[in-house]
Amino acid sequence: MRSSLDCVPCFVRQALDASRAISDDPAFQERTVREITGWIAGVDLDLAPPSFGQHIHRRLREVAASADPFRAAKEQQNSMALQLLPELRPLVAQSAHPLSTAVRLAIAGNAIDMGVTDRVTSSGLRQAIEQAMEQPLCGDPDGFYEAAEAARSILYLADNAGEIALDRLLVEQLGPHRVTVAVRGAPVLNDATVFDAQAVGLDDIAEVVDNGSDAPGTILPDCSEEFRRRFAEADLIISKGQGNYESLNDETGNIFFLFKVKCRVIAQRVGMPVGTHVVTRPQGHICAPEDREEI
Amino acid sequence: MRSSLDCVPCFVRQALDASRAISDDPAFQERTVREITGWIAGVDLDLAPPSFGQHIHRRLREVAASADPFRAAKEQQNSMALQLLPELRPLVAQSAHPLSTAVRLAIAGNAIDMGVTDRVTSSGLRQAIEQAMEQPLCGDPDGFYEAAEAARSILYLADNAGEIALDRLLVEQLGPHRVTVAVRGAPVLNDATVFDAQAVGLDDIAEVVDNGSDAPGTILPDCSEEFRRRFAEADLIISKGQGNYESLNDETGNIFFLFKVKCRVIAQRVGMPVGTHVVTRPQGHICAPEDREEI
Domain B71-294 belongs in CATH node 3.40.50.10880: yes
Whether residue B81 contacts residue B125, with contact meaning beta carbons closer than 8 Å, is answered with yes
CB contact under 8 A, A40 and B40: no
Q: Which among A6, A8, A10 is the nearest to B37, CB-wise?
A: A8
CA distance B288 to chain A (A): 23
Residue of B nearest to A39 (CA): B38
Question: How many other CB atoms are found less than 10 A from the CB of residue A262?
Answer: 20
Q: Does B27 touch chain A (CB under 8 A)?
A: no
Q: Which among B5, B13, B34 is the nearest to A42, CB-wise?
A: B34
Q: Specify burial of residue A62 (Cβ count, 10 A radius: 0-12, 13-18, 19+).
A: exposed
Q: Does B31 touch chain A (CB under 8 A)?
A: no
Distance CA A150, CA A212 (A): 28
CB contact under 8 A, A41 and B35: yes
CA distance B214 to chain A (A): 24
Q: Which residues of chain B register pLDDT less than 50?
A: 285, 287-295
What is the residue-wise DSSP string for A65-78?
A: T-S-TTHHHHHHHH
pLDDT of residue B286: 52
pLDDT in tens, B110-129: 988 776 666 778 888 999 99
Distance CA B229, CA B223 (A): 10
CB contact under 8 A, A41 and B38: yes
Distance CA B31, CA B38 (A): 11
CA distance B64 to chain A (A): 18
Question: Is the four-CA dihedral A156, A157, A161, A163 of positive or negative sign?
Answer: negative
Residues of A in contact with B13 (CB under 8 A): 9
Q: What percent of chain A has pLDDT over 70?
A: 95
Taking CB atoms and an 8 Å cut-off, how many pairs form between chains A and B? 51
CB contact under 8 A, B33 and A5: yes
- Tell me the three state secondary structure of residue A46: coil
CA distance B31 to chain A (A): 10
Residues of B in contact with A33 (CB under 8 A): 5, 8
Nearest to A106 by CA among A132, A86, A136, A73: A132
> A291 vs B244, which has greater pLDDT?
B244
In this prediction, the answer to ipTM > 0.90 reads: no
Q: Does B151 touch chain A (CB under 8 A)?
A: no
Q: Does A47 touch chain B (CB under 8 A)?
A: no
For residue A209, give the H/E element and its range.
strand A207-210
Q: Which among B6, B8, B30 is the nearest to A37, CB-wise?
A: B8
Residue of B nearest to A42 (CA): B34
Whether residue B201 contacts residue B168, with contact meaning beta carbons closer than 8 Å, is answered with yes
Q: Which among B5, B29, B35 is the nearest to A5, CB-wise?
A: B29
pLDDT of residue A118: 63
Q: Does B18 touch chain A (CB under 8 A)?
A: no
CB contact under 8 A, B5 and A16: yes
pLDDT of residue B288: 46
Q: Does B41 touch chain A (CB under 8 A)?
A: yes
Whether residue B126 contacts residue B153, with contact meaning beta carbons closer than 8 Å, is answered with no
Nearest to B108 by CA among B166, B156, B165: B166
CB contact under 8 A, B38 and A42: yes
Strand partners, B137: B277
CA distance B187 to chain A (A): 25
Distance CA B21, CA A92 (A): 49
Residues of B in contact with A45 (CB under 8 A): 30
Q: Does A118 touch chain B (CB under 8 A)?
A: no
Residues of A in contact with B16 (CB under 8 A): 5-6, 8-9
pLDDT in tens, B68-124: 999 999 999 999 999 999 999 999 999 999 999 999 999 999 988 776 666 778 888
pLDDT of residue A43: 85
CB contact under 8 A, A8 and B29: no
CA distance A93 to chain B (A): 41
pLDDT of residue B290: 47
pLDDT in tens, A16-28: 988 988 889 999 9
Residue A291 above 50 pLDDT? no
Residue A293 above 80 pLDDT? no
CB contact under 8 A, B8 and A16: yes
CB contact under 8 A, B5 and A41: no
Residue of B nearest to A13 (CA): B9
Whether residue A198 contacts residue A81, with contact meaning beta carbons closer than 8 Å, is answered with no
pLDDT of residue B284: 59
pLDDT in tens, A92-121: 999 999 999 999 999 999 988 776 666 778
Which stretches of B83-150 are DSSP H helices?
A: 85-93, 98-109, 122-134, 141-150
pLDDT in tens, A215-272: 999 999 999 999 999 999 999 999 999 999 999 999 988 999 999 999 999 999 988 9
CB contact under 8 A, B5 and A38: no
Whether residue A107 contacts residue A148, with contact meaning beta carbons closer than 8 Å, is answered with no
Residues of A in contact with B35 (CB under 8 A): 41
CB contact under 8 A, A45 and B35: no
pLDDT of residue A289: 44
Q: What letter represents residue A184's amino acid? A: R
Residue A195 above 50 pLDDT? yes
- Residues 6 or more apart whose Cβ sits within 8 Å of residue B150: B235, B236
CA distance B4 to chain A (A): 10
Strands A277-280 and A255-260: antiparallel
pLDDT in tens, A28-79: 999 999 999 999 888 888 889 999 999 999 988 988 889 999 999 999 999 9
Residues of B in contact with A16 (CB under 8 A): 5-6, 8-9
